[in-house]
Amino acid sequence: MRAMIFHHAGLRVLRLALMPAASLAPAACRAETPVDSSSASPAKAPRCVRVLIAETADPVRLRAETPLHPLAADGSPLEEVLSTEWTPCQADPGGALSLGSRPLAAEQIEFPGWAAAAGKLSRRTRDGWEPAMTLPGRLLIRRGPRGLTIINEVEIEEYVAGVTAREIPSDFHIEAFRAQSILCRTFCLYQMRSRDHLAYDVLASEGSQVYVGTVAGAAGEKARAAAAETAGLVCTCPRDGKEDIFLTYYSSACGGSSQSAWTFNPSDRIEALSGDVPCDFCQIAPPDCYRWGPVTLPEATVRAAILDRYPRLTSLDRLKSIEATRQAPSGRWVEVRLTDVKGAQWTLPAEHVRLAIGSRVMRSTDCRMSLVAGEVRLENGKGFGHGLGLCQWGMQGQALAGRTAPQILRFYFPGSSLTRVY
């Protein structure tokens, strides 16, 4: 079993960079209108999602099991060919789109037959080429403001299966896979609202939910089965007198109690996200997940991490103290006050401080934090992740105890129901 579950979906969902829809053609299988489960009309749910795979000045590389000719945005065929060997694709900012060594006479391309030819894409990072992604659906590549803009337009259940397979270990109970599929679907459909003016609906990163295309192996198979068995099911709760979808936050292990989302976002003031749900099912989580610490960090390291996230704090001097100024009933810190040696003070959201320090170093904001003799000490840590919404290790614990996916979801989202939107 993997040592941890990674994602902290939700807190950064509002940070998607705005990008005009520009010339990207609407998806062939795209939704007629955004989801409105209050109308309980299955026909209105989107069936296809546009996932932003990358916006990058770096090249990507592509290949397919059979050679493919790209089409320009107007449908005209181009001479170039994508072969069975890795082929670089690049666009310098302000430059032309190129495939292989040749510039293309088009600002946007796609490959007919991409999915049937098992098209693969690999991104380059500072550490080299990432593992190849097998992307289902359509692949659209255009010249964008940062170089390449790459979008995978995929049927939503394939997307749900891909995300679910990455979210939980392959040996999690099938009922946990079913619950996770419903979570991922609802989260995606909620993010898709109000995105019609953008060229994409969700990011492929933790800003939305991590997506790397089709996942092979046991996790992929279980996730595909779970997505198929729960197809069209979403979490809903009463809002303004109607049943409506909501942002189904989830994180690895709550450590004993979930956190209220009400603290962070006024639009989350619904019963389902009220938090403070007691949970000891996540005791089965690996070490450093249910309980963690102590962790000791040099003051200079913490200060540098905070300055990296908050460049406006240029006058921040050596830290004299770090203290919680607001705590949630669950015990988590909500706000942190920094005082430097000159007596200047700043109050920052505790979750931001956690992400600045490192989400795997400061594993949750439910801990004791002190600054003594030039060292920041984190101890008595509980849980891993932001603690909002569903606890994934708790979900596994409940599934092992015989609870079903609907029972698990209703446990973590009080007052919620399952609604079929298609």
The reply on whether position 394 binds Zn ion by CB under 5 A is yes
Smaller CB separation from Zn ion, 5 or 135? 5
Map tokens 């292989």 to a residue: 100
391 binds Zn ion (CB under 5 A): yes
390 binds Zn ion (CB under 5 A): no
Which residues share a beta bridge with 370? 377
Q: How far is the CB of 275 from Zn ion (least distance, A)?
A: 12
Mask of contacts with Zn ion, 55-84, x by CB under 5 A?
------------------------------
Residue 4 within binding range of Zn ion, rule CB under 5 A: no
Tell me the H-state helices in 203-298.
217-229
Considering Cα of 237, then 239, then 245, then 251, what sign does the dihedral take? negative
CB of 253 to Zn ion, least distance (A): 5
Tokens standing for 145? 């403001």
Q: How far is the CB of 101 from Zn ion (least distance, A)?
A: 53
Which runs of E-coded beta strand occur in 328-396?
A: 333-340, 345-349, 368-372, 375-379, 381-382, 390-391
When binding is defined by CB under 5 A, the residue of 51, 154, 282, 328 that contacts Zn ion is 282
Using CB under 5 A as the binding rule, whether residue 389 contacts Zn ion is answered as: no
Position 285 contacts Zn ion (CB under 5 A): no
Q: Does the protein bind Zn ion through residue 279 (CB under 5 A)?
A: yes
Query: CA nearest 63: which of 122, 104, 130, 106?
Result: 122
Burial class (CB within 10 angstroms; exposed 0-12, middle 13-18, buried 19+) of 312:
exposed
Least distance (Å) between residue 281 CB and Zn ion: 6
From 5-13, 24-32, 85-93, 246-254, span contacting Zn ion (CB under 5 A):
246-254
Rounded alpha-carbon distances, angstroms, from residue 147 to 90, 92, 102, 341: 7, 5, 16, 44
CA 315 to chain centroid, in Å, comes to 33
Q: What number of other Cβ atoms are within 10 A of residue 33's Cβ? A: 12
CA neighbor of 181 nearest in space, from 212, 222, 214? 222
Under the binding rule (CB under 5 A), the answer on residue 254 touching Zn ion is: yes
Residues 6+ apart with CB under 8 A from 32: 43, 44
Give 305 or 391: the residue with its C-beta nearer to Zn ion: 391
Number of residues near Zn ion (by CB under 5 A): 5
Tokens representing 261 are 């989302």
* Contact window for Zn ion (CB under 5 A) among 122-130, 229-237, 248-256, 367-375: 248-256
Q: Which is nearer to Zn ion, 214 or 252 (CB)?
A: 252
Q: How far is the CB of 336 from Zn ion (least distance, A)?
A: 23
Residue given tokens 């998806």 in the structure block: 27
Of residues 133 and 408, the one with the C-beta less far from Zn ion: 408
* Residue 367 is a binding residue for Zn ion (CB under 5 A): no
Q: What's the closest the beta carbon of residue 405 comes to Zn ion, in angstroms?
A: 16
Stretch that binds Zn ion, among 163-171, 190-198, 280-288, 344-352 (CB under 5 A): 280-288
Binders of Zn ion in range 171-210 (CB under 5 A): none
Residue ranges that bind Zn ion, judged by CB under 5 A: 254, 279, 282, 391, 394
